[in-house]
Structure 1
Amino acid sequence: MNDQAKETKNLAELFSRMHNRIKVESLSNHRKDVGTITPSQLKAIKFLSRHNNNLLTGIAEGLGISNAAVTKMTDRLEKKGLVERISCAGDRRATALKVTKLGEELIAKTEQAEMHQWNSVLSKMSADDKKALVRGLEAFIKAGLADIKDFNEVCLKCGVEHSDNCPLNSSAD
C-alpha cells in the first residue's frame, strides 16, 4: 500500500469513527425516553419509517441482515414501544412492522440531534473547506461506484432523505 492510500485509509477510518460518535451521542440523549438503543436499531426504525413494504423478510433484505437478526431486533424494538407487529391479511405467516408514534418521535429527535452535532463540527470549518469536503466526498463516492455493478449493494435504501443529487443517480447515467 502506498503512502497516499495509507493516509486515505486512515482519514476514512477517522471520518467513520467521528460519524459513529455523532450517531451514538445523538442516541444517548434519549435514553430516558426509550432506554438504550443501538445505531443498528435506529437504522432499522428509519428504514421502516421510509418504506411501505415492511414485511420482516423485506426489512432483512433492505438492511442486509438475516431474518433471525431482524426478528430478534423486532422483539427488542417492540418491547421499547418503538414498533408494532401487524398481521398481514391473506397470509397469516407473514408479519409486517409499523413504527409507533414514539418511534417516529425518536427518529425526529435523533435526526435533529445529529444535525446539531454535524453543524457544530462544520461551523468550525471555513466555507472553502466545507466545499472541498463535499467535493472530495462526492468524488470519492463516484470513483468507488465506478466498479460496482449493482448499486443496491451500497444504496442507503433512503436511510437519509432521497435526493436528486444522490451520487447513485449520477453514476447510473
Structure 2
Amino acid sequence: MTISDPRPQPQEVARVTSRAAELLEVLWGRASTAPVSAPQLRVLFVLEHNEGINLRTLADALGSTPPSTSRLCDRLQAVGFVERRDATANRRELELYLSRRGRAFLTDLRARRESALQSVLEDMPAGRRSALLRGLEAFCVAAAAQIQEGGETAARTA
C-alpha cells in the first residue's frame, strides 16, 4: 500500500484513508467504549462540539429521527453522560449538554485510543510520521469546514 505518485488523486487517497479508518476501528476496538454503544458515542462527540443543541438538531446531525435520538439520549442520561436542560429561549424545548462525567469518559477514551495509536506510530520512520501529521492536520481542517458548512445548511433549511 505505497503511493508513488507525488500528486495522488482524491479517490486513491480516499481508498487508503478508508483502509486506515478500518484498521483504526480494529485497534480502537481493543479499547472498550463500554458503557456506551457506537451510536451513543457519536451523540457524545456531536454534543461535545455543539453544546446546548436541541433534540431535532442532534437528530439531523446524526442522520436519525428525533424519537431514536431521544432514546439514545435517555440511555446516556441514565449513565450520567448527558444532561437535558430547559431552553432559555423556548421553555418547551430542551437543550442537550455533556455532563462532567460524559466529558471525563471522552477524555479517558481518547487517552486509551491515543495509547493504541502511539504504539503503531512508534514503528513508523520519523519522516513518515511528520508527513502523516501534516496531512492529517490539513484533513481535519477540511473536514471540520465541511461539517460546519453542513450544519449551517441544515440550520438554514430547518
TM-score by length of 2: 0.68
Gapped regions of structure 2 (runs ≥ 5): 1-7, 152-158
Deviation at 1:9, TM superposition (A): 6.6
Residue correspondence of structure 1 range 16-165 to structure 2 within 5 A: 16-26=21-31, 28=32, 31=34, 35=35, 37-134=36-133, 151-152=146-147
Q: Deviations over 1:62-86 (max 9, x none)?
A: 3333323321211111122211221
Gapped regions of structure 1 (runs ≥ 5): 157-173
Q: Deviations over 1:25-65 (max 9, x none)?
A: 33x1x64xxx3x12332232132123233211222233333
Secondary structure in structure 2 of the residue aligned to 1:93: coil
- Percent sequence identity is 23
Deviation at 1:90, TM superposition (A): 4.9
Aligned to 1:15: 20
Q: Which amino acid aligns with 1:15?
A: A
Q: CA RMSD in A?
A: 3.3
- Number of aligned residues: 141
Deviation at 1:99, TM superposition (A): 1.5
Label 1:129 to 1:154 Cα distance change in 2 as closer, same or farther (>3 A). Answer: farther
Label 1:73 to 1:92 Cα distance change in 2 as closer, same or farther (>3 A). Answer: same
